[in-house]
Structure 1
């Protein structure tokens, strides 16, 4: 079997090294701080360390807050129920059942239920049960802290970088697809793949989840233009929604198409829209005057042709097809002008 090089292998190697480093750090810090069971810190570090910083931060918060809640519940159970067999069963039922019920309000109570079980049962025969519980919280806290520090400071794999790369690729793809649509339209309304935007539309929807991760976590740790990133995500989603039905416009009318007299104006508009899309996807400055002139040129040319009676050559279905496509391109250009203006205003 031929060896296939994984382009993401460096990311996985770095992640492995980070997990190893964080685990060693957790063990050393545990020994230095004097907690009795350093392996809890190491186990916690391995659990919460994720490939991306945002996921690691979420896991750190989930693990530590869930542990703190569970420890508090465990201490309450220790204070209420004596360590007899029957009361131990009652305490397990009450503690885990209560935390499990509370997961309807917050998922962290699932971790709390696990912690209640651990601290209550593992410390059942310990002389100082509350002290034993507090040590477990300290050990897990050390593990969480070490995972957080290494994840943020050592080769941080930021979700922001992942999303920016996705956006650049997707904006390029939608620009290429739009140019293809314009070319097919101008070549006597040539048929187009009806699923041209199917995969792209699904990928664009996933951007929102990544953006929410960044907004909830990474922006609190790193400096990032969160407003620009949100504008890029929302704009791409709107653009795809506006043009994903355009292939159907080219496919629904049978028979020979027409040469489009407005081909020069529409070609220029298509090129300017594509350039604007690529610039927005990269967060680069774009001179919107070029796009504005192209939008105006299409409007003026269309009015001239209508006054000359040229559009009367189309039958009803072909008229609807041609007018709808031109209208889609023009409205897309106007929408991008609004986006570019908003982008310039926020700078």
Structure 2
């Protein structure tokens, strides 16, 4: 039976990766001749995260904070002699300045920690600056090993997680479109007013994941960020357009009407659902059937208006019916614009 890493749980894989990176960091520090290889191991354990994006983010945070803190530590070493009183002054100024600078960049928090470590552990050392640079090198080895293992061994990518979320959410929206149209054509049947409540919150979270990918994983992996941006932004716009539709079905009391345009509207909803599923998967979709469905709805409505059929509606019912149909038409037209964007697969 062939080995498949997907059969191993993500936490087991993460544990194996942390162990591998730790061993690699300790071996590398010893091979280079670093006297305190445990700093590399400690750094690796701190930096390694479940997802690649988080590991990259933590690597940048850890290493840049370390470099800044080491620079501050060296400055304190050069300015203040290693007496008890001056040591207290150096600790106060070095950590205080780094902590204050966190108002500009969170990396200065790690800088304050590093400054404390390198300044205090170098007390009594013959060559304090050299001692400090060795600590920075050891931490750098730990960061590098964590980074390499994270991106090269079973990479648990945020991009994959976001693509899975988008596919599921687009499918949910497509199902909701069919449900809404079915309820509308079934004599304007009542619909759950919170149909899009949970989905709207989940869609907002997609932007956070996209920004994380853009600032981290994009620098390492070759992802189609333009297409991903279209998928994220389109889903957000679609949900915003549809959130009011349940209220359109629920706001008017009394018996509903059979909709003469049911065949055209059913075809429109089915094409909208197909387009949504294709966009969610980043797959090619021929927009012509959707465009034809939009035209058929428009043509049929004009025919019915000329025949005077729509005069049967009272004012409130008329606005209810027309608002729902217009929402479906505008959504389809919006999707046609999206499908014709150069970022979409052709």
The verdict on a shared fold, with TM-score over 0.5 as the criterion, is yes
Tell whether 2:294 aligns with 1:295: yes
Tell me what 2:3 maps to: none
Secondary structure in 1 aligned to 2:340?
helix
| Offset at residue 318 of structure 1 (A) | 0.7
**2: CA distance between counterparts of 1:206 and 1:313?**
45
- In the alignment, what sits opposite 1:128? 127
Distance 1:156 1:40 in 2: 24
Partner of 2:47: 48
* 1:67-87 CA distance string (max 9 Å, x none): 000000000000001111111
User: How far did residue 344 of structure 1 move?
Assistant: 6.3
Write the deviation string for residues 115-162 of structure 1: whole angstroms up to 9, x where unpaired.
011111111122211111111101100000000000011011111111
Superposition map of 1:1-347 within 5 A = 10-343=9-342
Is the contact made by 1:228 and 1:343 (CA closer than 8 Å) also made in structure 2? no
Q: Which consecutive unaligned segments of at least 5 residues does structure 2 have?
A: 1-5
Q: Is the 8 A contact 1:56 1:148 kept in 2?
A: yes
Shift of 1:343: 4.3
> 2:183, 2:190 within 8 Å by CA — same for their partners in 1?
yes
Q: How far off its partner does 1:308 sit?
A: 1.2
Question: Do 2:230 and 2:343's aligned partners in 1 also have CA atoms closer than 8 Å?
Answer: no
Q: Cα distance 1:150–1:178, how it changes in 2: closer, same or farther (>3 A)? A: same
Partners of 2:330 and 2:145 lie apart in 1 by 52
The answer (yes or no) to whether the contact 2:284–2:344 under 8 Å persists in 1 is: no
Task: Note if contact 1:184-1:192 (Cα within 8 Å) is conserved in structure 2.
Answer: yes
Aligned positions, number: 341
Contact 1:192 1:247 in 2 (8 A): yes
Q: 1:58–1:341: structure 2 CA closer, same or farther, 3 Å change rule?
A: same
Q: Would the aligned equivalents of 2:283 and 2:345 in 1 still touch at CA under 8 Å?
A: no
Unaligned runs of 5+ in 1: 1-6
Distance in 2 between the 1:239 and 1:125 partners?
65
SS of the counterpart of 1:103? helix
* Offset, 1:345: 6.7
Task: For residue 219 of structure 1, give the secondary structure of its aligned residue in structure 2.
Answer: helix
More deviation, 11-20/337-346: 337-346
Give deviations 1:31-57, integer Å, cap 9, x for gaps: 101111111100100000011111100
Equivalents in 2 of 1:116, 1:233: separation in Å?
41
- SS at the partner of 1:121? helix
TM-score normalized by structure 2?
A: 0.97
Distance (Å, rounded) in 2 between the aligned partners of 1:243 and 1:303: 24
Mapped partners of 2:119, 2:236: distance in 1: 50
Note the aligned Cα RMSD (angstroms).
1.3
Post-superposition shift, 1:310? 1.1
Q: Distance in 1 between matches of 2:344 and 2:252?
A: 43
Partner of 1:3: none
Instruction: List per-residue Cα deviations over 1:3-27 (Å, max 9, x = no partner).
Output: xxxx996111111100000000001
The aligned residue for residue 4 of structure 1 is none
Displaced runs of 4 or more, over 4 A? 343-347
Distance 1:344 1:10 in 2: 34
**TM-score, scaled relative to structure 1:** 0.96
Q: CA deviation at 1:346?
A: 7.1
Does structure 2 retain, via aligned residues, the 8 Å contact 1:68–1:112?
yes
The Cα offsets for residues 147-184 of structure 1, whole Å up to 9 and x where unpaired, read as 00000110111111111100000000000011100000
Question: Are the aligned partners of 1:18 and 1:151 in contact in 2 as well (CA < 8 Å)?
Answer: yes
